[in-house]
Structure 1
Amino acid sequence: MPLLPGDGGAAVRRHCEDVLEAGPAPLPPSALARARYELSDLVDDLQGSGPGPEGTAIAVETWRRTAELVLDSNGCWRGGGKWLMRELIALDAAAGTAWASRLDVGLAAALAGDTALLQQAAEECLALAGGRLWEGFHQEAPIDASH
């Protein structure tokens, strides 16, 4: 049974497909700067981390932030959980890249104590997005910063 009268919503469906196909709007400059800054910080933390709970947390967060910035830098939709990896796989298929496998292997190695591959992937992602960001980065505090 059609959800809408007439063509059953074909025009709405077509519009939704067009929006999905077009991809998300580019990140605003302030959001891109924040993502670059945060990933730069994580890469430094990853370099100094070792095995154990803290190293695991840093590696997982570096993996996630790198994946998100790769997708953002390529005009792709993000996902959460398994969908983040599925979006990386779709990007790789469309662009002939290997981000999904590189990040998967890099995370596995980092969890085993060798952070070099994950660091390399994060550094390449940062280069794609404009490079590491430290100097000159600032962020306005929310008006109600009591929380």
Structure 2
Amino acid sequence: MSKPNPTKAAHQFVEKYFPDCQGALLAGSTVRGEYTATSDLDIVIFDTSISQSYRESRFEFGWPVEVFVHNLTSYRQFFESDKQRARPSMPRMIAEAITLKDTEVIQKIQEEAQQLLDDGPEEWTADIIETKRYFITDALDDFIGSSVRAEELFIANSLAELISEFVLRTNRRWIGASKWIVRSLKHYDEEFTERFVEAFDTFYRTGDKHEVIKLADDVLKPFGGRLFEGFSLGKSK
């Protein structure tokens, strides 16, 4: 049985639970046309009667619903937090959303979100890059040296996250988690993403580590390659 129209269901949800709100948006996969049988409705509410932001999950009008409720200033704390961690979940959600309800507040908020996305994350310092090189080297050494399949799988997972983060952040691009790792990489460079996915897919299917190791070395090479000798963290100068 197919789900009801997502936009219609979202309008019904807002009318039922937030009839007096100043603004409401529908975001996520339904807006991008990428929703699946397990997708939910991501609804963002702006309501001046709310003193504290909150998130809630419900099942309404034939859909699982994730509702994110803010007043007209509280969302900025999430913008700043997302900027600091370089994962712009809330800004992206708001910038790409469609309007369900507006009392002339939505445009300004969406412009703020889009500006943050356009600006990109803060540039990594040389010290941060050095530290990340060390962490990749450490995980890579574990990956190369391990002969226990169960351990290799989880080392590979860690290495994939470290490499994707390093590539994106050294190019001042936003990072992601879970499915957004690949999406963030694609936004940066589709050719590199294809190589990245193929390298790890080959390892997971066959156990062949060669392409993952080469990928890691190629990513580190412009920054001095692997780093172990002389690395120090927290030592007083």
Question: TM (normalized to structure 2)?
Answer: 0.52
Quick one: which of 97, 102, 123 aligns to 2:195? Answer: 102
1:6 offset after TM fit, Å?
Answer: 6.8
1:7 offset after TM fit, Å?
Answer: 3.4
What is the total number of aligned residue pairs between the two structures?
Answer: 137
Contact 1:69–1:129 (8 Å) recurs in 2? no
Q: Equivalent residue for 1:116?
A: 210
Quick one: which of 105, 114, 127 aligns to 2:221? Answer: 127
> For 2:123 and 2:186, how far apart are their aligned partners in 1?
20
1:79 offset after TM fit, Å?
Answer: 0.6
Q: Deviations over 1:1-24 (max 9, x none)?
A: 753697324233212201101210
Q: Equivalent residue for 1:56?
A: 153
Quick one: which of 112, 125, 130 aligns to 1:28? Answer: 125
> For 1:7 and 1:43, how far apart are their aligned partners in 2?
52
Match of 2:122, SS state, is coil
* CA pair 139-92 structure 1, distance change in 2 beyond 3 A: same
Between 65-74 and 27-36, report the one with greater CA deviation. Answer: 27-36
Considering fraction of residues, name the structure with more helix: 1
Contact 1:66–1:125 (8 Å) recurs in 2? yes
Match runs of 1:71-90 below 5 Å: 71-90=168-187
Q: Equivalent residue for 1:68?
A: 165
* CA pair 129-2 structure 1, distance change in 2 beyond 3 A: farther
**Percent identity, aligned pairs only?**
27
Does 2:140 match 1:43? Answer: yes
Contact 1:73–1:129 (8 Å) recurs in 2? no
Give the gaps of 5 or more residues in structure 2.
Answer: 1-20, 24-71, 73-101
Between 79-88 and 110-119, report the one with greater CA deviation. Answer: 110-119
1:104 offset after TM fit, Å?
Answer: 1.3
Match of 2:172, SS state, is coil
RCO (CA 8 Å, sep 6+): is it higher in 1 or 2?
1
Match of 1:54, SS state, is helix
Does 2:233 match 1:139? Answer: yes
Q: Deviations over 1:71-93 (max 9, x none)?
A: 11111101110011100011114
1:60 offset after TM fit, Å?
Answer: 1.6
* CA pair 51-89 structure 1, distance change in 2 beyond 3 A: farther
**Two-structure CA RMSD over aligned residues (Å):** 2.2
Contact 1:35–1:69 (8 Å) recurs in 2? yes
Give the gaps of 5 or more residues in structure 1.
Answer: 142-147
What residue identity is the alignment partner of 1:118? V
Considering fraction of residues, name the structure with more strand: 2
What residue identity is the alignment partner of 2:211? L
What residue identity is the alignment partner of 1:31? I
1:41 offset after TM fit, Å?
Answer: 1.3
Larger-gyration structure (1/2): 2
Q: Deviations over 1:43-75 (max 9, x none)?
A: 222222235101111112111111111111111
